[in-house]
Amino acid sequence: MGKGFVVAPVAGTLGETSGLFPTVSPVYLSIMPPLLRRRPTVSWFCAGTALSALCFWSLSSWFTIANDWLGLRITYDTRPWWLVSAMTTASLLPWLSLGLVVLLRRWRGAAYRATAFGSGILAPYLLAIGCLLLLPTLDDHWHRRGFDAALWKANRAADPLWPDRLCMVDDLLAHVTFVGLPQEHVVELLGPGDRDRARSGWDVVYELGPQRGAFRMDKESLAMRFSRDGRVVESRILVD
């Protein structure tokens, strides 16, 4: 029937064809989840996702697997040849599998869902990229809190990644307009500033903490410049 592939019927499950593989045994069909029997595209997507996620996990966790599980006591530069080969295979396997499915679809017909399989392979990578981009923003909003002058001046850092000033600076800037404010009011509110952090062109600098975002390698500071009559003419968060 159709393109020449036969599917053994299973009572109460699929009629004459599943569209999943060219030949499917009755035993296989009987143990398949009903959703996958009715939706072969979902099967191919799940297969691609499972393969890609397994390879992605093994590559990202190789150090733990090699040292904690296998007790090899190695580093990246001292990996044995077989581990290098295994990691290379894991990195290529999803894409080689996709190429094979594409060829099978061309040779054997539409039962091989290359698009669904490829989408499943991409899914873990897209999820990882989404987390990398989204989680830092959520983390920043989670740690934000209202401004407190006493805590600002104390500048404590119970969590080195989220000092008090870094958590309060957005609320401070949302409620206080610094441009035009007299210098004595700024000092009364925020303190004299971190003199050791002062730099050319800025009259006062308040150190905030590590730069917010995915890669927290730099530091953020709140800097202000005063006019000759002692009023703020510019305020800005600097990253250096």
**Residues 85, 48 share a domain:** yes
CA distance linking residue 219 with residue 210, whole number of Å: 4
State percent of the chain over pLDDT 70: 82
Query: Mean pLDDT, to the nearest integer, of 44-57?
Result: 94
The answer to the question of residue 159 being in a domain is yes
The pLDDT of residue 214: 76
Q: What's the confidence (pLDDT) of residue 197?
A: 59
> Which stretch of 34-48, 72-86, 133-147, 208-222 has the lowest confidence by average pLDDT?
34-48
SS3 per residue for the chain: CCCCCCCCCECCCECCCCCCCCCCCHHHHHHCCHHHHHCHHHHHHHHHHHHHHHHHHHHHCHHHHHHHHCCCCCCHHHCCHHHHHHHHHHHHHHHHHHHHHHHHHHHHCCCCCHHHHHHHHHHHHHHHHHHHHHHHHHHHHHHCCCCCHHHHHHCCCCCCCCCHHHHHHHHHHHHCCCCCCEHHHHHHHHCCCCHHHCCCCCCEEEEEEECCCCCCCCEEEEEEEECCCCEEEEEEEEEC
In terms of domains, do 135 and 151 share one? no
- Assess if residue 21 is contained within a domain: no
- Report the pLDDT value the prediction gives residue 138, as an integer from 0 to 100: 86
For the stretch 58-62, contacts whose Cβ atoms lie closer than 8 Å and that sit 24 or more positions apart, written own/partner, are: 58/87, 58/90, 59/87, 59/90, 59/91, 62/87
Question: Is 225 found in the same domain as 135?
Answer: no
Between 240 and 31, where is the model more confident? 240
The pLDDT value recorded for residue 198 is 60
Question: Does 53 score more than 70 pLDDT?
Answer: yes
Our count of domains for the chain comes to 2
What is the pTM (predicted TM-score) of this model? 0.55
- Whether residue 176 lies inside any domain: the answer is yes
- pLDDT digits over 15-49, tens only? 334 444 444 445 444 444 565 567 889 989 999 99
- Specify whether 129 is located in the same domain as 160: no
> Can you give the pLDDT at residue 128?
86
Indicate if 186 and 208 belong to the same structural domain. Answer: yes
Instruction: Give residue-wise pLDDT tens across range 138-163.
Output: 888 888 999 999 999 998 878 888 99
The residue among 141, 168, 198 that closes a domain is: 141
Instruction: Indicate the residue among 118, 141, 164 that finishes a domain.
Output: 141
Residues 91 and 181 in one domain: no
Residues 153 and 131 in one domain: no
Pairwise CA distance, residues 44 & 127, whole Å: 18
Q: Tell me whether residue 98 is in a domain.
A: yes
Question: Which pLDDT score, from 0 to 100, does residue 19 have?
Answer: 45
pLDDT at 221 over 90: yes
Residue 71 lies in a domain: yes
Residues 120 and 173 in one domain: no
Range of the domain at 161: 144-239
Q: What is the 3-state secondary structure (H, E, C) of 45-56?
A: HHHHHHHHHHHH
- Kindly state whether residue 20 falls inside one of the protein's structural domains: no
Q: How far apart are CA 221 and CA 201, in angstroms?
A: 14
Pick from 97, 116, 141: which residue ends a domain? 141
The CA distance from 57 to 49, in Å, is 12
pLDDT at position 66 over 80: yes
Same domain, 178 and 128: no
Q: Is residue 32 part of a domain?
A: no
Residue 172 lies in a domain: yes
Lowest mean pLDDT among 10-14, 60-64, 111-115, 181-185: 10-14
The confidence score (pLDDT) of residue 175 equals: 94
